[in-house]
Structure 1
Amino acid sequence: MRYPLGEYEADSIRSKTGKKLDEITLDEIRKGHVSPEDIKISKEMLYNQGQVAKDSDNPALAANFERASELVDVPDDVILHMYDKLRPNRSTKLELVTIAKDLLETYHAPNCAKLVLEAADIYEKRGILL
């Protein structure tokens, strides 16, 4: 895939619901043919963007896209709760471990779970857990 994807790979871009990029137009929105779910990014597109980053020798950005692709199917309230608990002095280590376990077992998000566990260890070393 070539970046920018919207310019070079427009035919292969699909939303979370499978809607093609060229089907998401202002006219289609006015007609009521495009819902809020139709404009959410798909897991595959985030993964593809990660591959572009990886191919461009940017492993950190590739890892971010991979984690983002894992979060596509995680409910917004779960993500917001996780972000709140990842703020310093907002959680116990057990709470973070429980979030990581939930990410892994319920949502099959191993890279996100690993990130939360790493944060728990670092927070513990820095003394910024409850």
Structure 2
Amino acid sequence: MMSNYPLGQNEADTITSKTGKKLNEITLEEVKKGNVTAEDIKISSEMLKRQGKVAQEADNPQMTANFERASELVNVPDDVILDMYNKLRPNRSSKKELVLMAQELLEKYQAPHCAKLVLEAAEIYEKRGILL
């Protein structure tokens, strides 16, 4: 069954934010009233998975994988994501640091696809000589 893409136009009544607020409840008027917070406009894991399904239906496996990893990162704190970004830059981490980061993603945040990506990066960085 094909998704009714774009979801924001065709399935707006089923879209909710990370906090559960419905898309139609997030309006400028509601923001002005103080009824919408920054947390209310963050995307939910469910919506990212739905976008991944659209990518899968369009036969785009790379995009599907990107949405899967993104859905895992929804519950990872911003400072952890920023630290991960910095550690994944060439010549910024040791292999041990990347392995420990992958372990944290897997065990603390239940993000197996992200953990796998970090481990793959560690292996590639090691082969290319761009680890500390």
After TM superposition, is the score higher than 0.5?
yes
Determine helix, strand or coil for the equivalent of 2:92.
Answer: coil
1: CA distance, partners of 2:121 / 2:128 = 10
Q: Percent identity?
A: 72
Match of 1:13 in 2: 15
Post-superposition offset of 1:3: 1.4
Post-superposition offset of 1:40: 0.2
Match of 2:129 in 1: 127
Post-superposition offset of 1:69: 0.2
RMSD: 0.4
Q: What's the CA shift string for 1:48-74, capped at 9, x where partnerless?
A: 000000011001000000000000000
Match of 2:34 in 1: 32
Q: Does 2:64 match 1:62?
A: yes
Post-superposition offset of 1:2: 1.8
Letter in 2 for 1:60: Q
Where in structure 2 are the equivalents of 1:1-130 lying within 5 Å?
A: 1-130=3-132
TM-score by length of 1: 0.99
Structure 1 unpaired stretches of 5+: none
TM-score by length of 2: 0.98
Q: Which runs of 4+ in 1 moved over 4 A?
A: none
Count of equivalent residues:
130
